[in-house]
């Protein structure tokens, strides 16, 4: 709404006196300035909601945004790594951690293994407490979007990395907290002993990918890679939905196009009448 207000001010048009034509000109202005379809869809939805309220509240007589059409946001997946590329990334993280033994390297190896093993969002991983992890049962309790709780299995490589982080890497960072500050229950700690910042995880993962010689990847891409590899390995959609914490199965179905493309490729190469 602020963005639209600024645009209308250029022509001295009042926000509550804007016409459908004014709104369309604003969208065209956004396109000219490089706005993506996702941005147009989001801003268009905000304007439609605003004018629906303004009409109901009696601020405007006719809703100018009622017939405002915006392009649908592209339902594209982030970049994915193949199974081989993912293995190379994680093996490199393990190699660095083993060679240096530094807390930050042990932490990076552990968080990468955990995000991939459990398909976690980076905010979910950094939001974990030590008490949420049960290495004896190899499960983790995750609080996801909408404060929804789920229990996710933890694979053996991730469990090994986490065990090393908790025993060797976490204590030095816990001791780095300022004097007098109560110890944090967070599983992953930052350099000053507080909860690790998700932005730092992203920055370090970009660097790690470059060092490992794999395509650039963000934590969310690692989560999507986990989902795709689960489906390719034969997991059913409901299982993947539960692991990822999706509220709708439709969200999980986005991954099927990736596996279907590979299925078609194999079919074309193998079937005599493909």
Residues 137 and 248 in one domain: yes
Top pLDDT among 107 and 178 is at 107
Give the pLDDT score at 78.
Answer: 64
C-alpha distance from residue 263 to each of 88, 139, 176 (Å): 24, 32, 51
CATH number at residue 119: 1.10.443.10
Give the pLDDT score at 118.
Answer: 95
The answer to whether the CB of 92 falls within 8 A of the CB of 211 is yes
Q: What is the pLDDT of residues 124-173, one digit of tens each?
A: 999 999 999 999 999 999 998 888 999 999 999 999 999 999 999 999 99
Residues 106 and 179 in one domain: yes
The predicted model gives 189-196 an average pLDDT of 93
Give the pLDDT score at 71.
Answer: 76
Using pLDDT thresholds of 50, 70 and 90, give the confidence band for residue 76.
low
Which three-class secondary structure state does DSSP give residue 45? helix
The answer to whether the CB of 37 falls within 8 A of the CB of 74 is yes
Residue 77 has pLDDT above 70, yes or no: no
Helix H or strand E encompassing 118: helix 103-118
Number of Cα atoms under 13 Å in the Cβ half of residue 5: 6
What gap in Å lies between CA 92 and CA 259, rounded to an integer?
A: 26
> Has residue 132 been placed in a domain?
yes
Range of the domain at 202: 83-266
Residues 196 and 247 in one domain: yes
Residues 99 and 47 in one domain: no
> Has residue 160 been placed in a domain?
yes
> Has residue 227 been placed in a domain?
yes
Residue 184 has pLDDT above 90, yes or no: no
Residues 127 and 214 in one domain: yes
The answer to whether the CB of 222 falls within 8 A of the CB of 116 is yes
The answer to whether the CB of 149 falls within 8 A of the CB of 163 is no
> Has residue 221 been placed in a domain?
yes
Using pLDDT thresholds of 50, 70 and 90, give the confidence band for residue 263.
confident
Residue 261 has pLDDT above 90, yes or no: no
Residues 131 and 226 in one domain: yes
> Has residue 272 been placed in a domain?
no
Residues 160 and 46 in one domain: no
Catalytic center residues: 121, 145, 220, 223, 246, 255
Q: What is the pLDDT of residues 222-233, one digit of tens each?
A: 999 999 999 888
Residues 208 and 248 in one domain: yes
Q: Domain count of the chain?
A: 2
As a dihedral over the C-alpha atoms of residue 227, residue 229, residue 231, residue 234, rounded to 10 degrees, the angle is -140
What gap in Å lies between CA 20 and CA 60, rounded to an integer?
A: 13
pLDDT, the chain, mean: 91
Residues 152 and 46 in one domain: no
Match 């022509």 to its residue by tokens.
11
> Has residue 109 been placed in a domain?
yes
Q: How far is CA 37 from the centre of its chain?
A: 19
Residues 208 and 259 in one domain: yes
Residues 42 and 160 in one domain: no
> Has residue 70 been placed in a domain?
no
Top pLDDT among 115 and 273 is at 115
* SS3 labels along 160-225: HHHHHHHHHHHHHHHCCCCCCCCCCCECCECCCCCECCHHHHHHHHHHHHHHHCCCCCCHHHHHHH
Give percent above pLDDT 70 in the chain. Answer: 97
Give the pLDDT score at 183.
Answer: 73
> Has residue 73 been placed in a domain?
no
Give the pLDDT score at 247.
Answer: 84
Residues 50 and 87 in one domain: no
Residue 23 has pLDDT above 90, yes or no: yes
Give the pLDDT score at 73.
Answer: 66
Give the pLDDT score at 70.
Answer: 82
């Amino acid at each position: 709404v602020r963005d639209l207000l600024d645009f209308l001010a250029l022509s001295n048009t009042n926000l509550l006196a804007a016409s459908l034509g004014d709104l369309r000109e604003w969208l065209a202005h956004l396109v000219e300035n490089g706005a993506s379809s996702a941005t147009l869809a989001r801003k268009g939805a905000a304007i439609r909601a605003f004018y629906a309220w303004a009409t109901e509240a009696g601020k405007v007589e006719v809703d100018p945004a009622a017939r405002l059409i915006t392009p649908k946001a592209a339902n594209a997946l982030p970049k994915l790594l193949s199974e081989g590329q993912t293995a190379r990334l994680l093996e490199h993280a393990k190699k660095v951690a083993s060679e240096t033994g530094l807390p930050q390297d042990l932490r990076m190896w552990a968080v990468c293994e955990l995000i991939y093993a459990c398909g976690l969002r980076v905010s979910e991983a950094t939001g974990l407490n030590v008490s949420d992890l049960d290495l004896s049962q190899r499960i983790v309790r995750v609080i996801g979007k909408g404060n929804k709780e789920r229990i996710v299995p933890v694979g053996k490589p991730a469990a090994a990395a986490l065990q090393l982080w908790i025993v060797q890497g976490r204590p030095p960072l816990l001791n780095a907290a300022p004097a007098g500050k109560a110890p944090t229950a967070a599983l992953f700690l930052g350099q000053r002993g507080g909860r690790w910042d998700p932005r730092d995880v992203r920055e370090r993962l970009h660097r790690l990918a470059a060092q490992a010689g794999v395509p650039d990847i963000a934590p969310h891409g690692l989560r999507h890679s986990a989902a795709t590899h689960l489906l390719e390995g034969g997991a059913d959609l409901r299982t993947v939905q539960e692991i990822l914490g999706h509220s709708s199965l439709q969200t999980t179905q986005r991954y099927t196009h990736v596996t279907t493309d590979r299925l078609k490729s194999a079919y074309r190469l193998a079937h005599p009448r493909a």
